Copies of this chain bind each other. A is one copy, B any other.
Amino acid sequence: MGRPTVLLLLLAILTPGAAFHVPPAMKALSSLRWSASSTFRRTVAKNYSVHYIQQKVDHFGFSADKTFKQRYLIADAYWKKNGGSILFYTGNEGDITWFCNNTGFMWDVADQLKAMLVFAEHRYYGESLPFGNKSFRDSRHLNFLTSEQALADFAVLIKHLKKTIPGAKNQPVIAIGGSYGGMLAAWFRMKYPHIVVGALAASAPIWHFGNLVPCGVFMEIVTKDFKRGGPNCSETIRSSWDAINRFSRTGAGLRWLSEALDLCTALTNAQDVQHLKAWLSETWINLAMVDYPYECDFLQPLPAWPIKVVCQYLKNPSVSDAQLLQNIFQALNVYYNYSGQASCLNISETTTSNLGTQGWSYQACTEMIMPFCTNGIDDMFEPHAWNLREFSDDCFKQWSVRPRPAWIITMYGGKNISSHTNIIFSNGELDPWSGGGVTKDITDTLVAITIPDGAHHLDLRARNAFDPTTVILARSLEVRHMKQWIRNFYASLRKKH
C-alpha cells in the first residue's frame, strides 16, 4: 500500500513542531532521534565543565579550511591520573548537555573506573553548528553532516585531550553511546581502534540498513510489547485504524472523532486523518521505546511500565467503533495526560524541543536509510510497504539530496564485522530498535548483552531502586568488559616500556 501523496508535501515542511507529520515509516526514523533524550526530564544537574575545540568543517577535503567550535563537557571528579580511564560519550542527535545529564550509567561507574567523563557534542546539534544559524539553510551547508565527519571530530578531540590534559596521554579511552550514539560508539571503535580501546554500544541498530534485517521487525516488536502489555491490547489498536477510517468518511464522523479524542484542533480532511494516524503510531512506538520499569518523566510524566497501564484501557477489540475509540482516548491520556493537566490533545505537539530535528531529518535522507514497513498481520499497524523510490523523491524535495542506502553497509561492514574487537552491543528486548541490533555474540570480544526487561538503552540510565535484575546484571557485565579492556591497555603499555 502506497503512502498517500498528500504526505509528500508535508515532508517538505518537516519542522520540530510538526515532526510527526510523516508516515509511521518515517516516524520510526525520527523516533530514533527523539528517543535518546526523551527518556529524561527529571534531570539531575551534574558537575561538569564546558569546553570548545576548533574543528575542521571538512575533515575529508582541503579546499575549504573553515573551522567551527565543537562543544564538549568534562567531568573529572573521580578521574585518577594513575591507572585511570576516559569514558567518551559519542554524542548523537541532540544537545550534549541532555546526554550528559541523563546518561547516569557513566556517572555511576566513574568512581570504580577512576574515569574522566567526556561528552562530545555531535556536529550540527546543540551549540556545535558548523555555519551558525545558516547550518540548515541548504544542502551545501548541510554537506558536512555525516557520521564520518562526526567520528573524525571525535578522533581529533581525543587526540587534543591527550595532548593538552596532563596525565591523559597514556590512558585508555572507551567510547560509550546509546541509540544513534551507540552506532557511533561501535563504528568509532571499528574505524579508530587506535583511539578507543573499546566501545559500549547501547541500543544501537547498526543492522537496520538495507536488507540486513526485515523491514517489519521494528513494528513487530512494538506490537509484541503491546501484546505483552495485556490481553487483546495489540488487537484493539489494530482495530482502531479501520474504526478511524470509517468515522473519517463523513464530516459528522470527523467532528465526532475530534471530540471523542479531545483534539485541540478539529480534523477537517483526509490529510488531517493521516496526521492523526501518524501521531497515534508514534505514540505507540514511543511507549514501546520508553517502557521503563519505574515512573519517569520525558515529554509528559509516565507511570512505571506505561504500556501495561495503557493496555488496561485496550482490552476489547470487538466493541463498537465509538467505544473502541473512546478506549483509545483513555489510553492516549496515560501518555499525554498522566499529570492530568492537559486540556486537550495536540496532534501537532512535538515530543521534545532539545533536539536537532532538522539535522536528523537530513541524516535520515542521506546516510541513515533505515527501511521500515508494516503488513498489519505481524504487527498492529496499517500495512505500509517500504518504498525507497518514494522516500528518495521526498528527500530530494525536502533537502535536494538523494539517499545512498548501500553506503553505510559499504562503509561500516553490515553483518560482516567479525574482525573487529572490544565492542559490547547491549539491547533491551522490549526495545523495538533491538530488531536492528546485534543480539548474539559475534566473537569473544564482540559481545551481545540482552536485557529481557529493558526498553531503549535502559542500561545507560542511572541506577534506580526499581531496576530489574536483568539490567543490573547487564551493567555489571558491561563494567567487567570495560575493566578488562583497561587492564589489557595497561598491560600492553607496560610491555612497551
Per-position binary interface string of chain A over residues 55-67, scored 1 when its CB falls under 8 Å from any chain B CB and 0 otherwise: 0101111111100
Please state if A146 and B401 are interface contacts (CB–CB under 8 Å). Answer: no
Assuming A155-B410, A410-B159, A419-B421, is B193 touching A61 (CB within 8 A)? no
CA–CA, A146 and B61, complex, Å: 7
Please state if A146 and B410 are interface contacts (CB–CB under 8 Å). Answer: no
Please state if B62 and A404 are interface contacts (CB–CB under 8 Å). Answer: yes
Q: Provide the residues of chain B in CB contact with A64, threshold 8 Å.
A: 143
Q: Within 8 Å of chain B (Cβ to Cβ): is A407?
A: yes
Q: Provide the residues of chain B in CB contact with A127, threshold 8 Å.
A: none
Nearest Cβ distance between residue A124 and chain B, in whole angstroms? 13
Nearest Cβ distance between residue A203 and chain B, in whole angstroms? 23
Please state if A191 and B191 are interface contacts (CB–CB under 8 Å). Answer: yes
**Cβ 8 A contact of A63, one of B149, B156, B159, B401:** B401
Q: Please, how many residues of chain A have a CB less than 8 angstroms from a CB on the other chain?
A: 46
CA–CA, A127 and B410, complex, Å: 25
Q: Within 8 Å of chain B (Cβ to Cβ): is A238?
A: no
Q: Within 8 Å of chain B (Cβ to Cβ): is A416?
A: yes
**Cβ 8 A contact of A159, one of B191, B406, B417:** B406
CA–CA, A421 and B193, complex, Å: 12
Please state if A140 and B401 are interface contacts (CB–CB under 8 Å). Answer: no
Assuming A193-B419, A194-B416, is B62 touching A139 (CB within 8 A)? yes
Please state if B139 and A63 are interface contacts (CB–CB under 8 Å). Answer: yes
Per-position binary interface string of chain A over residues 35-62, scored 1 when its CB falls under 8 Å from any chain B CB and 0 otherwise: 0000000000000000000001011111
Q: Within 8 Å of chain B (Cβ to Cβ): is A366?
A: yes
CA–CA, A65 and B421, complex, Å: 34
CA–CA, A195 and B414, complex, Å: 11
Assuming A410-B155, A414-B194, A419-B194, is B60 touching A60 (CB within 8 A)? yes
Which 5 A-B residue pairs are closest in the complex by CB-CB distance? A194-B413, A194-B416, A63-B143, A63-B139, A193-B419
Given A63-B139, A65-B402, A156-B410: 17 more A-B contacts, CB < 8 Å:
A61-B61, A61-B143, A61-B146, A62-B142, A62-B143, A62-B366, A63-B138, A63-B140, A63-B142, A63-B400, A64-B143, A152-B410, A152-B411, A159-B406, A193-B419, A194-B419, A419-B421
